[in-house]
Structure formats: C-alpha cells, structure tokens
Chains A and B, each alone.
Chain A
C-alpha cells in the first residue's frame, strides 16, 4: 500500500482556536500522479499544505508521507521524511543573499558527501533541467518572477525527491510563462516520475497538468468534489463546483469568438 500511495491523508481535522478550518478530510495520492488541491480563497488550501509539510500539527487525523505519519512522528522520523520531499513555495523562497547556483547547491551540500566539483556539476544539470543554464551567478533579486519559480523548482528537485509539493506554481505569472512552468512540471513528471501535489486555483494550469483534482469548500470545510477536471466541469452535481470551472468556459468562449 505504501509503495503505491506515497501520500495518504485520513480524517484530517484542523482548528485555529475555535474556528474550524478543515473538517474530516480524507484522500490519497498515487505514485507518479499529478494531484491538484484547489479551492477558492479562504478554503484552507494553504493550511492543508502546511499540515502536509509538517509545519503545523493537526487537531486529529493522520497524514502519511512515504511511510511515516507526520502528524504523530518523532523529530527524527520527520527529518528522515523531509529528505523524500521537495517544496516549491509560492514566493519561490530563494535565499536572497545567495546566487541561484548556491541556492540549488544548498541541499546537495547538506545531504550528500559529494566533492565540491561534483556538486557544481549536479547544480548545472539541475539548472539545465529547468532551463536556467546561464543564470547560475545571478542573485534572486536580479531575475524575473518566472525564473525565480524555475530556480525554486530546481532547488526543490535537487535531491530527486519522491514527492514534490508545489504551492501556486503559476500564480502571478503571465500566461506564456505560466504555460512554460506547466510544461516543465509535466516534463519532469514524465521523465523522473515524481509524485506531485499542486495547490492552485489557476484554471488553465488545472486543465493542463492535473490527473486528479480535489476541491475544498469555504463554507462546509470539506472536500466537495473529486475527479478529473473534465468530469468536474461537465458533470458535477454540485453547482458550486460547476461555477468554479465555468469561469474558464467563459474565457474559452471569448477567445473562440475572437478567432472566428
């Protein structure tokens, strides 16, 4: 079971003070899958992600990453689990005082015993993978938002994690750059077979990359829909789900008129 479902969340309930944020969520992610968590603002997407990364402990429920329940494990087990995951943060979270190359080298130097020159070669391979071959000596403040996402992705992939978490990978980017990031995600998933969990509300990205989607709801605090994006858009019994996806429809229709 562990082999095929690297991530398994069961009956997860989260409360901040008296306020219920997530109510009894259960889902699991298959190996090599691109799994999208979506929902409107305030639906608890980011809270769910923070709990899956072990940054916060839930009130009740289990969060199994790899073969460890990070809702209950010890510090040592948590540190072991962290080696299996990579995270691309929404703001890329590159360290501003280091170059792009040093940012990518950081986890490699920390977690391997490779000699410096081999680390340098690995960093160049990872940067080439995300299309940032000639930017190794740039500081994060000197490159664009899309490049920062790519560099953050290279850093998240530095140790070839089994599971990759991406928080809003294409938010705040122009449509072309966002599409490039989506393509990059698909390409990496196809080539390396990394399991990916993406938190987003960008409809274009959802249709481009998702194999399976769960949708969180602001009012009920539960998962209100699960399935492929096409299924949810065309045949969800829930009007709220259809409304979320119909925004895309409208823009699609507009472009059709333009081209016609």
Chain B
C-alpha cells in the first residue's frame, strides 16, 4: 500500500431496499483527498437520509489517519444518529488504522486560551490583587534603585562606566538627528502659526519671543522626553525583558551581581546626563527654525530676531526647562527598566513590556509636566 503522487479519491452512494445505502470509496484517503471529499460526501448522506449505511472500502488503495477521520466523521454525523453503520471490506492495514482511532469520538471545538473564571467579583478581586502586587514590586524597585544609587555615590568605582558611556551614545548621540529635525520643524510651525495673528498688529518681532519661551520652558523638554521615551524607554524594556525571560538576570544574581546596579543605574545615569543636553539641542534647533521663518517670511533681520530672543529668555526659563528634563530622564530610564523586570512568559511579554513602558512614560511625563505648571503658578 503506497501513496501515489497523483492521489485521488472518488465515491459512489447507491440506494438499496428499506433505506439501506452503500457508500463505496475508491482510491487514496489521505490529507489532501479527505480534505476535498469530506464535505460533499457528508452533504450527499444528509440528503439521502439512510436508515442503514454500509461503507465499502474495497476500492481504497491507501488510507491513513485522515481516512480514519473521514469514517469517524461520517459515523458520528448528526444525519446518521439513529442509523446503523457498518464498514465492509477494509484491508488489514486500513482496519489497523481504524482500530487506532478507538471507540471514542471527540470533536468538541478546541478550547481557546484565556481566563478560566468569568465571575465579576472574582475578576475584580483578581485585578485588585494584581494591582497590589504591581505596586509592591514598584515600591521595591524604587527602593533598590535608591539604595544602589547611594551605593554608587559612596563607592563610585562600582559603577559600570563603559556601559554607561555606551548607553549615553545610544540614548543621546544617536537621538540627536531625530530630535533636531522634529524641533526645527516645530519651531518653524510655531513661528508661522503665531505670525498669522501677530502680523495683524504689526508685532512680528514677538514671534521670536514666543518661540523662545515656549520651546525653552515647555515644548523643548516635553518633545525631547517623548521622543526619547519612544526610542530608548522601549529599548530598555525590550532588552531587559528579553534578559529576564532567558534567565540572564538570574545568572547575574547568582554570579553575585546586583541586577539593579548592573543594568538600571548605568541607564539612569546615562539618561540623566544626555536628556538635558538633548533638550538644549532641541531648543536651539527650534529657535533656528523660527528664525528661518522670521527672516524669509516676516521681514525680520537675523540680528533683530537674535536680539529679541536673548532679551526675552531669562536664566530662570533655562533652569526651569532643564530641571523638568532631569525629572523626565529619571522617569524614562526607571519606567523602561521596571517594565523590563516585570516581564513574564514568552515572546509576547517582550512586546507588552515595550508597549507598556512607552505608554507609562508618556503618561508620567505629561502628569509631571502638569505638576510643574501648578508649581510654577505658586513660585
């Protein structure tokens, strides 16, 4: 009994007396032919409503477990619930295949993965417990980051200096082009939009003030933080979660390293150093963008635009913007790492960690920015 390359399966359904029907199967019963034959055969049987169905396998040349599946599906088809069913002329090999099928027939739909309970009280409890565990983990994480930071301040040589420099490059230097481009365009847009209003009063020169103040104290820090959260916050979470699920973090712990000191502190230090620098770049490029619009479209001279910018900006604005960006830097690095450490499971966990890191970072950045705005009104 061998499988032919050009396998085919045909059938004949012949009526007998008293509702007795004979189904004759010919040729090969394998994955391809059964897949094609099952539906038409079932339909034909449903139409003929037999009281007694004989299945004649004498014409079958090859049959594997898909053939057995065909027989089983016919035997348990709802149209034959009260009918007699008989198999005839099965070859020895076919009989063995059918025997393997066993008396059990189980074609309930496959279970879908998912939660076992759908009880609302249980779900609420489950969610609450989950949130509490998350909170506990968060507090413990913040605590160990704080302890490790104190440790590094006491003994600076425990810091992984090369790693820190590496993270400064990937988080900072590599982000300069995208931050510069976005800020330049943002400066142009702001200058253009504000000029639409200000030209009505002949107050073109105040475009320079508006761009400078808005960028340095507000938009520069927040835009930079959001770009870095998307670039590096997600990268931290993805890298650390991959290390977590492949047991690399356990390996570090067993070798006597503090994973926080090894992985988190270098990232936080790198972020705290480079994000304020990126913010300065961002403000610089936005002011240049505004200047391009001012000079080309609003009849301002480069010198007067420059002078107006310097006159408007106070040192306090610079300090304010940079303090914000320091806070954002700590948020991005710690949330990215935290989400990485929380990952559990397989490939999907890495994706979830990266997504949740970006979402949490952006939410916290906006939240803290609002807190800064409230603080400033009472300054």
Contacts and interface: CB of A to CB of B under 8 A. Distances in A.
Nearest to A126: B65
B34 A125 contact: no
A209 to B, nearest CB: 21
Contacts of B136: none
Contacts of A96: 345-348
A122 B71 CA distance: 12
Interface in A69-116: 96-99, 101-102, 105, 111-116
A116 B105 CA distance: 15
Interface of B: 3, 30-32, 34-36, 38-39, 64-66, 68-69, 72-73, 100-101, 105-113, 345-348
Contact of A121 (B64, B73, B345, B348): B73
A238 B203 CA distance: 93
A102 B112 CA distance: 8
A141 B109 contact: no
Contacts of A260: none
Interface string A149-166: 000000000011010000
Nearest to A192: B64
A114 to B, nearest CB: 5
Contacts, number: 84
Interface SS of A by simple majority: helix
A140 interface: yes
B263 to A, nearest CB: 24
A139 interface: yes
Interface of A: 96-99, 101-102, 105, 111-126, 129, 136-137, 139-141, 159-160, 162, 191-192
A120 B110 contact: yes
B65 A99 contact: no
A108 B30 CA distance: 13
B31 A112 contact: yes
A113 B105 contact: no
Given A101-B111, A112-B35, A160-B30, A125 B345 contact: no
A124 B100 CA distance: 12
Contacts of B69: 114, 118, 121-122, 125
Contacts of A105: 110
Contact of A159 (B31, B109, B110, B346): B31
B110 A98 contact: no
Given A120-B110, A160-B30, A114 B35 contact: yes
A96 B277 CA distance: 41
Contact of B73 (A97, A118, A192): A118
Q: 8 tightest CB-CB pairs across the interface, nearest first? A: A96-B346, A112-B35, A137-B111, A121-B107, A117-B107, A101-B110, A113-B35, A99-B113
